[in-house]
Amino acid sequence: MTTLDAATASALLNSPKHRAGLNDLVLEVTSVSRRHPWLARVSGRVPGLTATDPTAWRHPNIALRLAIPDPSDDLGPLIGQPGLCRRVYTVADVDPDAGTVDIDIVVHGGASPMMRWLDALRPGDRVDFAGPRPHPAPTEAAAAGDPVYLLADGSAYPAASAITRACAVTTVVLAPPDAAERPDPARFADDFPGARILVAGESATPLAAALATLSVPSGATVWAAGEREDIRSLRTRCLGELGLPKKQVQVFGYWRRGKTGTDADIARLTGIARLRERGLELTGDNDFDIEI
């Protein structure tokens, strides 16, 4: 049950600050394929994309919020979208001149709204989305020639790949869903040009465990995204044992085991409303204080 009311949710989601730079667009699916056994690619055309700001699409890490069917979603009715839930996906690739977009979706095997939608998806299908939303990327550190470490599970594989294709990255640590099969890092080389690629072992917190085995220089920037508790533990190590300053630590929880994307949205909207009552805003720093 949520304590979030419709007026608060709508006010936050429709505020000029939240909507800045977002377009309401439609993805017309042209193909559905597999990049890896655990990663589906959905490619499509976006009518009207070429009329939007092309620079926004050239940022190395951007995300879209897809509106997909879910009759039982708790947030949809509060924001005037009953029967729909919203799920966030990275733009794996985009051609702003041609108006085409690719997104890569982890096939995690649950009976979730995204898995049901993906199962039934066929060329010609359409999905509404809002975007592009820029997310942090270690562009300045890479441009300065500082060592850049990226750590990503399957959900952050598309973002880590997009960043590596745009910036000079030293080391990429991947925690793919098939880690138990010990995949050869060479299998991922095309998606991470120029970077040393390591594959994390099996663990409840694979990225944090992998980080603990690396010697990370004090001038390094660490970017990491994936399961929230894994990233929380990795963040604690970066700021604690490794003593990296906060500006060299860009880390994000993309999903939380046992919780839905809607649970995360409701928790964050509730958290933002509470912070604003105290004159504060949600930031990368206090996001981990929110209980999802």
Ligand X SMILES: Cc1cc2nc3c(=O)[nH]c(=O)nc-3n(C[C@H](O)[C@H](O)[C@H](O)COP(=O)(O)OP(=O)(O)OC[C@H]3O[C@@H](n4cnc5c(N)ncnc54)[C@H](O)[C@@H]3O)c2cc1C
89 touching ligand X, by CB under 6 A: yes
What is Dmax (Cα atoms) for the chain?
Answer: 51
Give the DSSP letter of residue 245. -
CA distances from 148 to 109, 140, 216, 242 (A): 32, 10, 10, 14
Calpha distance 173→106 (Å, rounded): 17
Interface with ligand X includes 63 (CB under 6 A)?
yes
Q: Is residue 129 at the binding interface for ligand X, with CB under 6 A as the rule? A: no
According to the binding rule CB under 6 A, does residue 115 interact with ligand X?
Answer: yes
Nearer Cβ to ligand X (7/20) = 20
**Minimum distance of ligand X from residue 250's CB (angstroms):** 12
Does residue 41 bind ligand X (CB under 6 A)?
no
**Shortest spacing between CB 243 and ligand X, in angstroms:** 27
- Please identify which residue in the block is written with the tokens 């809607």: 262
Nearest distance, CB of residue 238 and ligand X, angstroms: 19
Kindly tell me which residue out of 108, 182, 246, 274 binds ligand X, with binding defined by CB under 6 A: 108
Binding mask 241-270 for ligand X (x = CB under 6 A): -------------xxxxxxxx---------
Token look-up 């095309």 returns: 190
CA angle 38, 256, 219 (to 5 degrees): 85
Task: Please identify, using beta-carbon distances, which residue of 216 and 250 lies nearer to ligand X.
Answer: 250
Which string of b and e fits 225-245 if b means at least 16 CB within 10 Å? bbbbbbbbbbbebbbeebebe
**Contact residues for ligand X, defined by CB under 6 A:** 63, 87-90, 104-106, 108, 110, 112-115, 135, 154-155, 158, 254-261
